[in-house]
Amino acid sequence: MSDTPPSTIVVRPGPPLQGVVPIAGAKNAVLKLLAATTLAEGRFVLRNVPDIADVAWMGELLEAMGMRVDRPRAGELVVDRPAVIVPEAPYELVEKTRASIVVLGPLLARCGVARVSLPGGDDFGPRPIDMHLRALEALGATIDVAHGMLEARATRLRGARIVLEFPSVGATENTLMAAVLARGTTTIENAAREPEIVDLAEFLVRMGARIRGAGTSTVEIEGVDELVAADHTLVPDRIEAATYLAATAVAGGEVVLGGARADHMDLLLRKVEQMGVSAVACSEGVRVVAPERLRAVDVSTLPYPGLATDYKPLLVASLAVADGVAIVTENIFAGRFRYVDELVRMGADIRTEGHHAVVRGRERLSGARVRAHDIRAGAALVVAGLRAEGETVVADAHHIDRGYERFIDKLTALGASVERR
Ligand code: EPU
């Protein structure tokens, strides 16, 4: 998939959703695994790769460095990493997908130098990388910033004990991918514990890395001299799964999230059960059965295994049509409430104050013209449109394509009335 032009999605309320929706591999895992392919020469094969814009852009970034990225068949990505690459990530590509900052650690570890354009802010606020840089400095890197470009250098990184101020996903990943080739042992304390980090660690171990404790707050990495290319099948995308879960909760019906891992979505499943949804593991994935009307519950985001901030727009859209009043608290990205104004345009009764929102549920919303500001906000507006009278027209829907493959097709297959214009 290449750049997608701006587009609009039109949603109408329809019958309850029915069927099985296949869940793709996790966006937030594959982007990091692609960064990890810079660590070793050879051919890598990744399976269960979602066909989304962010993956295409990350592929472009690897190609700009002199690597080759092919998609021989649906769901498979083959990466060829030659002996010599250009360890540089230019502004045009970093700006498209800020996740590309995670090339900094592996490039530095493998090439001794990395030049990466500074990522800017996001639609939900600033995206600082101070923790990434402090951790790499603790491993012995010298970092300079000039003209919007970061330059990190180190002849050979050395293991260190790193205590992160906050369990940042990106800082944990950058440190992990730098430490695998460092001399000696690195310990990351207060590490992020997301399933995508475990997936990255498993991939690195297949490449020959020595890592213990991924998925816990203390990760120990014993540096090795060299890594080799490897194959890997990605974990399913828990946020994509949560999106179809929310769509079912809002539209009503019974849907199986095919291939989803209930154990990666523990708290979310408990939360939606309090809202009256039945969401239980089954042989095919997770079976979701919606109630007649959702019940309001309070929601508060936290690092994994807490409720993911990426679930929140979907939960707010669901609470907007639930019975009762809910307080929603955002603890990860303070500014992540921009989509609330769009939901209010659809008749939702939501008031925000700092990092809190009070959501008073309504029986139905009212279709309106709204705008997607980011991936999850866009998906949440489409979900809200499933219970809004008339037509909901979501502009800037290209944001949704950054993180969801065949979004319209998958929803339509479940019986939703959704089309791209
Ligand atoms: N932070 C700092 N300094 C740093 C790094 C992070 O202050 O050096 C702060 C951030 O500003 C934020 C908090 O720490 O307040 C958490 O940020 P984190 O580093 O954990 O987030 P991230 O790695 O930038 C990933 C996902 C996001 C997801 C967050 C939180 C990817 C590509 N992105 O971002 O996913 O919201 O973790 O779980 O993995 C999305 O998929 O749409 C998305 C935005």
Q: Say yes or no: 243 and 318 in one domain.
A: yes
Protein residue closest via CA to atom 13 of ligand 1: 332
Residues 72 and 186 in one domain: yes
Q: Taking each helix axis as running N to C, give the angle between helix 104-111 and helix 169-179, from 0 to 180 degrees, rounded to the nearest 10.
A: 10
Structural domain count of the chain: 2
Residue having the nearest C-alpha atom to atom 43 of ligand 1: 310
Residue 378 Cβ < 6 Å to ligand 1: no
Residue 331, burial from CB neighbour count under 10 angstroms (0-12, 13-18, 19+): middle
Of 173, 144, 153, the C-alpha closest to 31 is 173
In a domain, 4, yes or no: no
Given the residues 54, 70, 80, 122, the one annotated as active site: 122
170 pocket-lining for ligand 1 (C-beta < 6 Å) = yes
Which residues on neighbouring strands pair with residue 295, listed in sequence order? 323
Q: Ligand 1: does its nearest atom lie under 6 Å from the Cβ of 28?
A: yes
Same domain flag for 260 and 326: yes
Q: Is residue 65 located within the same domain as residue 110? A: yes
Hey, whose CA ends up nearest to atom 29 of ligand 1?
A: 169
- Residue of 61, 116, 127 to test ligand 1 pocket, by largest number of atoms within 8 Å of CB: 127
Q: Is there a domain that residue 49 lies in?
A: yes
Is residue 31 in contact with ligand 1, taking CB distance under 6 Å?
Answer: yes
Report the separation in Å between the CA atom of 170 and the middle of ligand 1, taken as the mean of its atom positions: 6
Q: Say what the pTM is.
A: 0.96
- The C-alpha atoms of residue 366 and residue 80 are separated, in whole angstroms, by 50
Residue 170, SS3? helix
172 found inside a domain: yes
Instruction: Please give the distance, rounded to the nearest whole angstrom, from the Cα atom of residue 129 to the centre of ligand 1.
Output: 9
* 310 carries an active-site annotation: no
Asked if residue 2 is part of any domain, the answer here is no
Distance 172 CA to ligand 1 centre (A): 10
| Tokens found for residue 339 | 């989509």
Per-residue pLDDT of the chain (421 residues; tens, 9 = 90+): 444 456 999 999 999 999 999 999 999 999 999 999 999 999 999 999 999 999 999 999 999 999 999 999 999 999 999 999 999 999 999 988 888 999 999 999 999 999 999 886 566 566 789 999 999 999 999 999 999 899 999 999 999 999 999 999 999 999 999 999 999 999 999 999 999 999 999 999 999 999 999 999 999 999 999 999 999 999 999 999 999 999 999 999 999 999 999 999 999 999 999 999 999 999 999 999 999 999 999 999 999 999 999 999 999 999 999 999 999 999 998 778 889 999 999 999 999 999 999 999 999 999 999 999 999 999 999 999 999 999 999 999 999 999 999 999 999 999 999 999 8
**Domain co-membership, 182 together with 127:** yes
User: Any idea what the CATH number is for the domain that residue 52 is in?
Assistant: 3.65.10.10
Angstrom distances, CA of residue 131 to CA of 7, 72, 172, 310, 400: 36, 37, 9, 21, 28
Helix (H) or strand (E) holding 153: strand 149-153
Which tokens sit at 66? 């002199």
| Tokens of residue 254, six digits | 């019974």
Give residue 169 CA to ligand 1 midpoint distance, Å: 6
